[in-house]
Amino acid sequence: MEENLNNKEIPLSEVLLKYEKKWHTLSNERILKILKTNQNTGLSTKEAQKRLEEFGKNILPKPKKPNIFLIFLKSFLDPLSIMMAIAGITSLIIGLVSNDFQPADKAGLVIVVVIILTNSFIATVQEWKSENQKISLSEKQQKALVLRDGKKTTIDIEELVPGDIIFSKSGDSVPADSRIIDNQLLKVDESALTGENEAVEKVDDIIKEAEIVLGDQKNIAFMSTLVVEGKMVGVVFNTGKESEIGKIASNISESKRVKTPLEKKVTKLTFFIGIVSVILGILIFGVAFSLKNRADFPEDMKSIYKQMLLAVSSAISVIPESLTIIVKICLMVATKKMAKKHVLIKKPKSIESLGNVNVICSDKTGTLTQNKMFVDGLYVHGQEQDLKEYDITNQNDLINCMALCNDAFIGRKKEKVGSATELALIEYLIANKINYLNLRKTNKRLDEIPFDSKRKIMSTVCEVDGNIVAYTKGAMDYLLPNCKHILEGDKVRPIEDKDIENIKSQLMIFAKKGMRTLGLAKKDLKDLDDEFENKLVFIGLVAIIDPPREEVAHSVKEAHDAGVRVIMITGDHKVTAFEIASRLGIADEEHQDVITGQDISTLSEEELRIKLKTTNVFARVNPEHKAMIVDILQADSNIVAMTGDGVNDSPSLVKADVGIAMGITGTEVSKEVSDVILSDDNFKSIISGINSGRNVYEKIKYSISFLVAANISQVLTILLILGIYQTTALNSVNVLFHIFVVETIVAIPIGMQRERSGVMLNPPPTHKKESLLKGIIIQICLTTFFNTLFAVLSYWITHIYLNGQDTKLIHDYAKGGVYIVIMFSPIFYAILFNNRFLPIINAHKVTIVDKYKPNKWLLILMFVAILLTILTMLPFDALNEFFDFKTVDLDICLLLIYILFVALVPICIWSSYRLITYIMCKSQNNSKKIN
């Protein structure tokens, strides 16, 4: 091995591979020799540059940049675009083969091409934006203190290489995997990597065991972990993707994501509509072909080419071509709105999944709570004190112990240094207008015994008013046995069994309230040679809590009202977890159990599934337990959202239907693998996201309802008139123009309407595969019925009104009536769908609709659609030839009848639907009374 190390031809990267997973077993001297570096001088700038070229930058794997041309090409693979393209190519081939390709037919092809290109253009722009707007919440380049050329210097962490000597202190993030060669009271928070909540005490000695987990490698500081106490000198041995966190990031970035429920549902709906369109097209062609030899059948339709073209055009018209555009616009608008509400969507298609979530698995700290410790209870002089009324300003021993047995401080710019527990004590003193810094200045610290994980206490010795006093704080399990006296008022007396019982009873009271407790004690010393931590005087108990966010309880209730179950998963103690869950309404009468990670390990999958039905609180869990919970919930057809902030949360974030990362406390890996990032780490934002997601889902369903009804009513009108009157009410170019006006112009603004506040009353889907048509079938049927009815009535009324006149004249008038009704009706009843005056009817309840909210884009585009439709009816030969529509001077009475029919369509749709809604509401109320 030594020979290999001295062989300059072997690249250092190959040498390092031989020591993979062995760094903790090697001595400091051995490691420095392997890495060819010096603890006193570090690497030279020249050598560092050479190694940077060999090992690459110290950065985590990032996704490839999207290619806009590939995105554009892929947009044509959309099922709706493919169906449109096939239909367009079919009509082109038919026209060329038949040598009967008229200007009107060319116009139809132009419309088809315009629709496909418009669809692809919007899809490309939206996809490009979404791929490039993956928001990085850590724009600021991180720095590292490193030894180069014998001098300490600050560099970008990207420039770190194996062999660099680095320096980290409290508050720093470890910049690369490093072997610790020197440390002072070093503690590192490795929760982002291992999931371990407690900070790990680090050492700089050899660890002989070869095969140990990362959490036990206490002489190594891993990249992206946080130094919470002390400081260290380390030598870097792995950077970037070769670091432990980099390996996890690489594996996750290479994994393929499954389609969202929305993508699957749209594909399924498209397939279904495609079959319906083919059937209707064949039916129209069959009827037309069977009637071609009749003398009264129009001459221009006796050609098989014309019959086939009408059939193909009708089939195209059934397909909701603009559905893809509407979906993308809904998602694009929602993405922007949600970003303002602190919900950052990485992939817009995840919005629908978020809206359909019916179970939220949430972390406690920072999401449900404030992630900030506060003093919330105080026990002194033998009783619990009311913090609002109790005056501590004259309690010198209590104040001194909090201020002097404490290493935390808050800077001038409000920067906080120290553990959360000690900072809570400092903030309590500040709130009571006590100058803790002045106390430290006037009461000089003479000695100390730092906190130790075995002793669970810390002590400081200070000179107070000329006397030497030791102050001790820590866990009561360790502190109380060493207390021989108790402070009562201004007097000190021996501690009695009754005092100890009262203290233990108070400890249980605080624990049931979800609080952590610190014991405070003191000892007057004769000199510095006295023992510090025995025969102590008990001062009191301080209870500290990370309180729930004020708004979360309301958000949890809102979630429950919306049919969304909330589950808390935390690493905290079960008593604390249950108390917080009870305060927030997560633990209720139906969910009183608490399951710990240890319990999960002893349960079978089936037993855990049964327990999960009555349990909303999971405490002391490991990362693998979170993934198990998600698996079971999904197996029961739930749509699950999972929150997380650490690298260890990544598997469950990926596994969940919606992975939600924390923007403030979350690691880069958790943000990378998640679907959603909360920029404020607040549970309330999740509910806000669900609200927006449900609005998107509802808008999409209304759009589908509008498009399908308008399209099918047109084809049914053609089919019915063809079967009853043996003639064609509309030709291919009329059909295609209807697509352009109704779908491309009128339908798209539906996706741009305002959010509806009552949408949270809609229950979430009962199953992931629930059809997009659920709840809107009645809308589609009623709209199709009345639109078709009045279109056919216009043809019938024209025949009665002009009875006895020229057959061709009657047909032209009747055709004009059908065209007016079938074109203008959707333009006006679009308002019903845009403002969602037709509530979606679900199996559970009928939702309440909001008041009318104008949509300026709809009003503008309605006006445009009306103008364009009127233009096709003007008496200009070029327009008439292009649109294959022969303008006739309609009788004023007939025109008024047609206009009346156009107005009656939305009126009949709305009134009949409201009647059905009323009947359903009455039925539901009667069912509740019976039950």
Catalytic residues: 363
If one counts every other C-beta atom within 10 angstroms of the C-beta of residue 301, the result is 18
For residues 507 and 517, give the distance between their C-alpha atoms in angstroms, rounded to a whole number.
7
Tokens 């059948």 correspond to 297
Question: Is 559 in contact with 507 (CB distance < 8 Å)?
Answer: no
User: Cα–Cα distances in Å, from 502 out to 495, 663, 870?
Assistant: 11, 43, 88
The candidate with the shortest Cα–Cα distance to 522, out of 540, 499, 508, is 540
829-862 residues labelled b (16+ CB within 10 A) or e (exposed): bbbbbbbbbbbbbbeeebbebeeeeebeebeebb
Alpha-helical regions (H) of 405-535? 420-431, 436-442, 476-479, 497-512
Helix (H) or strand (E) holding 916: helix 892-930
Alpha-helical regions (H) of 292-419? 304-318, 323-340, 350-355, 396-404
Eight-state DSSP code of residue 585: T
For residues 20 and 12, give the distance between their C-alpha atoms in angstroms, rounded to a whole number.
13
Residues 6+ apart with CB under 8 A from 366: 645, 662, 664, 665, 681
For residues 656 and 68, give the distance between their C-alpha atoms in angstroms, rounded to a whole number.
29
The candidate with the shortest Cα–Cα distance to 316, out of 283, 285, 286, 280, is 280
| Whole-angstrom Cα Rg for the chain | 37
Tokens 């050492």 correspond to 203
For residues 691 and 561, give the distance between their C-alpha atoms in angstroms, rounded to a whole number.
12
Tokens 């603004």 correspond to 749
Backbone angles phi, psi at 637, to 5 degrees: 70, 25
Strand 467-474 versus strand 516-525 pairing type: antiparallel
Question: Is 262 in contact with 349 (CB distance < 8 Å)?
Answer: yes
Type of residue numbered 829? Y
The candidate with the shortest Cα–Cα distance to 473, out of 398, 415, 361, 535, is 398
The candidate with the shortest Cα–Cα distance to 679, out of 660, 693, 664, is 664
For residues 539 and 385, give the distance between their C-alpha atoms in angstroms, rounded to a whole number.
13
Q: What is the DSSP string of 214-279?
A: GGG-TTEE-TT-EEEEEEEEEEEEE-GGGSHHHHHHHHHHHSPPPPPHHHHHHHHHHHHHHHHHHH
For residues 580 and 586, give the distance between their C-alpha atoms in angstroms, rounded to a whole number.
8
The candidate with the shortest Cα–Cα distance to 246, out of 624, 667, 625, is 667
Question: Is 745 in contact with 707 (CB distance < 8 Å)?
Answer: no
Residues 6+ apart with CB under 8 A from 527: 468
Residues 6+ apart with CB under 8 A from 615: 567, 591, 593, 594, 595
The candidate with the shortest Cα–Cα distance to 699, out of 323, 365, 196, is 323
Type of residue numbered 330? C
Alpha-helical regions (H) of 516-647? 552-561, 574-584, 597-602, 605-612, 623-635
The candidate with the shortest Cα–Cα distance to 714, out of 704, 726, 728, 700, is 728
891-929 residues labelled b (16+ CB within 10 A) or e (exposed): eeebeebbeebbebbbebbbeebeebbeebeeeeeeeee
